Amino acid sequence: MTVLLSLLGWLTGSKIGRYVALGAIAAAALGFLYLRIKASGAEAERLKMLQQSLENLRTRIKVDDEITQLSPDARRERLGRWVRDD
């Protein structure tokens, strides 16, 4: 406890100590800013991926609805486009 108080006294009582304290505060502020920017970027990427997933789901539902409305012959013809003729 006395070591902490003597360090605090040196930081506030000397010119060099005040510069060291100011540098430590600036470094902490920059570190916090870096972490916030990094977290913001990660959140933006997560939202972008979620938006793409929703768009893929909408497309899948639309195609499924189109296929459901086709007659069996039209479905076979459409499926035939995906089968190889090997």
- Note if the pTM is more than 0.75: no
- Can you tell me the distance from the alpha carbon of 79 to that of 74, in angstroms, rounded to the nearest whole number? 9
* Matching residue, tokens 């499926």: 79
Confidence (pLDDT) at 15: 85
Beta-carbon-side half-sphere exposure of residue 57 (alpha carbons within 13 Å): 6
Confidence (pLDDT) at 7: 80
Question: In the 8-state DSSP scheme, what is residue 1?
Answer: -
- Counting as low any pLDDT under 50, the low residues of the chain are none
- Can you tell me the distance from the alpha carbon of 70 to that of 42, in angstroms, rounded to the nearest whole number? 43
DSSP assignment string, 24-58: HHHHHHHHHHHHHHHHHHHHHHHHHHHHHHHHHHH
